[in-house]
Amino acid sequence: MAYAFLRGEFVPLEEANISIMTHGFLYGTAVFEGIRAYWSKDDNQLYIFRAKEHYERMANSCRIMRMARKYSVDEMVELTRKLLEMNGKKNDAYLRPVVYKSSQVVGVKLTGLEDDFLLFATDMGNYLEVSKGLKVRVTSWKHVSDNSIPMRCKVNGAYANAALIKTEALDDGYDEAIVLTDDGHVSEGSAENIFLVRNGVLVTPPETDDILPGITRDTVITLAREELGIPVEIRRIDRTELYIAEEAFFCGTGAQIAPIAEIDYRPIGDGSIGPITQKIQELYFQVVRGQVAAYKNWCTPVF
C-alpha cells in the first residue's frame, strides 16, 4: 500500500485529503520540494539524493514565507526515509514534501494562520528527455522576480508562472523554454537551472538572477570542479550567448541532466550531446545511485 504523511501521521495515500477551503490551496501559500530517490541494483538499496540539502532549502523557504516548521531538517529526512520504507517499493521514486498554510479561511496574508507539513511519493520517469537534445525557445513571459514572488523560495504560487512558460513552449512545438530576468539576462528554465559551455568553461547564472538555487546545479558545480577538472564560472549571461554556446543543458531534480540541441532555431554545437554535457550526465547518474564512494554521503539509504 502507498502511504502519505499528513497532519502528523502516516495515512493511506487515498485518505490523505485536504479541505477545499485550505489557505495554501486558495492562494498558493505553500512551499515545496521535489526530491528523487534512486534504486541501486548493485546495492539492493534505494537512495534518497541530497535529502538534507532539499530540506535546508525548504527551511529557508519557510522563513521567507513566514511558515512555522513542525519538524527539524533531520526529522524531515527521517520521515522521508520512513515513508519510502513503508511504501516498500524497490524502484526509483519522486518525493513531494510541502509546508502549507493549513488554516481553512478566506483572506490573503501570511500571519496568524496554521501551517502543516505533508509528504507523498510517486513514480516519475524522465521529466525531460535526457538521451537526445531538447528543442528550446526563449519564453515571451516574464519571470517572477525577487521583489514579486521570490524564486529563492520554492513557493507553490510561483509555479503558475512556470506553467505559463512551459505551456507556451509546448504549444509552439518546443520541449522547454528559457526565461530571462527583468533586464534581459538568462535566468533558468521553467523548472530547471541552465548551464552553457563557453570556451571550455561551464557557465551558469548567479543566484541573484532570479533562479531557484538548485541542488542539482550545486551538484554539477561540485562534480565539475572536484571530479572532472572542468572550470565553472558563475556569472550573468547575455541572451545571445545562448546562441553561440558550444554546449548547453538543463539540470534539476526532475530534469536531471538534460542536453539542449537547439535554442530559438540556432543549433547548439553540432546539435548532438556535447562531450562536457555527456561526461557530467554519466557521472551524475552514477553519483545518484550511490556508485561513487566520494559522494555516497549525498545518498540516504532507505532500507
Ligand X SMILES: Cc1ncc(COP(=O)(O)O)c(C=O)c1O
Residues near ligand X (CB under 6 A): 34, 162, 188, 191-193, 212, 214-217, 252-254
Closer to ligand X by Cβ: residue 87 or 190: 190
What's the Rg (C-alpha) of the chain?
19
Contacts of 241 (CB under 8 A, 6+ apart): 186, 196, 198, 203
Whose Cβ is closer to ligand X: residue 36's or residue 101's?
36
Verify whether residue 89 is a known catalytic residue.
no
Residue with cell 565539475: 224
Distances (CA, A) of 29 to 20, 104, 159, 192, 217: 14, 12, 11, 21, 26
What are the grid coordinates assigned to 285, written together?
Answer: 547518474
Question: Which residue lies nearer to ligand X by CB, 217 or 289?
Answer: 217
Nearest to 255 by CA among 166, 180, 193, 212: 193
Q: Would you say 3 or 295 has its CB closer to ligand X?
A: 295
Q: What is the DSSP string of 238-252?
A: BHHHHHH-SEEEEEE
φ, ψ for residue 239, nearest 5 deg: -55, -45
Indicate the pairing of strand 201-204 with strand 232-234: parallel
**Residue pointed to by grid coordinates 553561440:** 244
CB of 145 to ligand X, least distance (A): 13
Cα 291–293–297 angle (5° rounding)? Answer: 100
CA distance 35 to 22: 24
Q: Rank residues 23 and 217 by Cβ distance to ligand X and give the closer one.
A: 217
Of 101, 135, 154, 166, the active-site residue reads 154
- In whole angstroms, how close is the CB of 69 to ligand X at the nearest point? 18
Q: Give the residue numbers marked as catalytic.
A: 154
